[in-house]
Copies of this chain bind each other. A is one copy, B any other.
Amino acid sequence: MPELRKDPIIGCWVIIATERAKRPNDFKPEKDAIVGNGSCPFCEGNEKLTPPEVDADRSSATVDSPGWLTRTVPNKYPALENSTSLDKSSSGMFDVMKGVGLHEVIIESPDHDKQLADLSVDQIKRVIAVYKRRSLILGKDERFKYVLIFKNYGLAAGASLEHSHTQLISLPIIPRRVIGELEGMKRYFDQKKKCVFCDMIEQESKEGKRQICENDDFYAFCPFASRSPFEICIAPKKHQHAFTDISEGQIDSFAKILKDILMRIKVLLDNPPYNFIIHTSSLNGNTNELCHWHVELMPKLTKIAGFEWGTGFYINSTPPELASECLREVSV
């Protein structure tokens, strides 16, 4: 009998298939190669092919030239653009505003052939430090309400360039799912005077059946109401509302667990396309203290997104207990 499970934060229901559950080998991740035009704009030596850099790990005092470990540039094809005013307006019942925002690309390594999972822990630490640095800088801009950090790996997950990179968008609005989470966290807090994420980590640790791995500072598990097969959540063990509050020590732990998790899905699921998103507090909301930042990581294994888009109703063919068991058993 399938199960209907309620997401303890958002409140939506997910159908979890319990019979004929899909195991890792039942998925055939898409392997479309991303076709480049021969010269990758993210490779060392091609710095002139991108807009001027806004951040870089370099030992020398040069800019837009070789000799960097990470490099951050404005997106050449931004989803949102820099402008001074939002220019809100209405036409009858329709509200519109200028698509004001900043859209940056964090190039994670000069090496074209290494994906994030392949980088050393030290290099991943540098990448996470850039996430923090750019988030802090963009977060100071009063036009924006949210800084979104996300990564698309693989064509099927929406990546258009092969060279490993993360994207960062500052938004004049808070994304709908983030609002839903913040509201859900507030609802739980109002009722129990505790953080729903802290409680969830405590219950997951006690039960153990959806746990993947942990270290001193972070805990990784497959959520109870996972919407997609092998969905993974990585969260700081101690309550921390904003990603930008991450300490130096935590960056080290975060880099280690992120590499560990990425290697596990790479090995177990045959290098699948994936998306990850850092969910953090909004820049100026009054529910910030209730937020508990975390990473949502979704291997892209299924194709049924259209139906889910239309209904907000998810059918997951791999119970998170099975997913986490498989992920625990991978040796990396």
Given contacts A93-B200, A199-B93, contact A4 B310 (CB under 8 A): no
Closest to A2 in B: B99
Are B12 and A176 interface neighbours, CB within 8 A? yes
Are A81 and B176 interface neighbours, CB within 8 A? no
A100, A176, A277 — which one has the most chain B CB atoms within 10 A of its CB? A176
A77, A172, A200, A305 — which one has the most chain B CB atoms within 10 A of its CB? A305
CB distance from A96 to the nearest CB of B (A): 5
Given contacts A2-B79, A80-B2, contact A307 B277 (CB under 8 A): yes
CB distance from A160 to the nearest CB of B (A): 10
Residues of B within 8 A of A302 (CB): 158
Residues of B within 8 A of A279 (CB): 310
Residues of B within 8 A of A199 (CB): 93
Residues of B within 8 A of A4 (CB): 96-100, 172-173
For chain A residues 68-106, which have a beta carbon within 8 Å of chain B? 77-81, 83, 91-100
Are B200 and A98 interface neighbours, CB within 8 A? no
Residues of B within 8 A of A95 (CB): 5-6, 8
A308 within 8 A of B: yes
CB distance from A269 to the nearest CB of B (A): 14
Residues of B within 8 A of A94 (CB): 5-6, 8, 203, 224-225
Copies in the complex: 2
Are A303 and B177 interface neighbours, CB within 8 A? no
Residues of B within 8 A of A156 (CB): 303
Additional pairs, 12, CB under 8 Å, beyond known A5-B96, A79-B315, A93-B203: A1-B99, A2-B99, A8-B94, A15-B80, A94-B224, A150-B310, A152-B307, A158-B305, A177-B311, A227-B309, A228-B309, A273-B306
A29 within 8 A of B: no
Closest to A20 in B: B77
Are B305 and A309 interface neighbours, CB within 8 A? yes
Closest to A153 in B: B306
Bound together, the chains give a CA A173 to CA B6 distance in angstroms of 11
A300 within 8 A of B: yes
A275 within 8 A of B: yes
CB distance from A94 to the nearest CB of B (A): 5
Are A93 and B303 interface neighbours, CB within 8 A? no
Residues of B within 8 A of A77 (CB): 20
Bound together, the chains give a CA A207 to CA B175 distance in angstroms of 29
A47 within 8 A of B: no
Residues of B within 8 A of A189 (CB): none
Are A176 and B310 interface neighbours, CB within 8 A? no
List, sorted by A's number, 30 A–B pairs whose CB atoms are closer than 8 Å: A2-B78, A2-B79, A3-B96, A4-B100, A4-B172, A4-B173, A15-B99, A16-B99, A18-B99, A91-B207, A92-B203, A93-B200, A94-B224, A150-B310, A157-B304, A158-B302, A158-B303, A158-B305, A175-B311, A175-B312, A175-B313, A176-B312, A177-B310, A177-B312, A178-B311, A180-B312, A275-B307, A275-B309, A277-B311, A308-B309
Bound together, the chains give a CA A148 to CA B310 distance in angstroms of 11
CB distance from A82 to the nearest CB of B (A): 10
